[in-house]
Amino acid sequence: MARILRVEHKGSNLRFMNVEPGFVVTEVMKANGLIEALADLSDATPAKTVAEVIRWLAESTETHGVTVLHIPELAKRLEAR
């Protein structure tokens, strides 16, 4: 979808990318006690982390031209800075 939108809106200064958040732990999951049931999923990404990466994407130019972004990988790279 991102590639099509880039073509349709060429020259608009808009950036389009597909974001893959991975498995996200939400407040609803916590409230329903699902976190304990899924405790072995150590690769879960907190919703706050997803939001922080999305904010960074909106403010940064480092990902121009990238079609698919994997939030867990990007969060680790940003954390290492």
pLDDT in tens, 22-68: 888 888 887 887 777 676 666 788 889 999 999 999 899 888 888 89
Region of 61 (left: φ > 0; alpha: ψ -120 to 50; beta: rest) is alpha
The whole domain housing 33 covers 2-79
Hey, what amino acid is at 65? G
Q: What is the pTM of this model?
A: 0.73
Instruction: Specify the number of domains making up the chain.
Output: 1
Element (H, E) at 14: none
38 touches 17 (CB < 8 A): no
Neighbours of 62 (CB within 10 A): 11
67 touches 45 (CB < 8 A): no
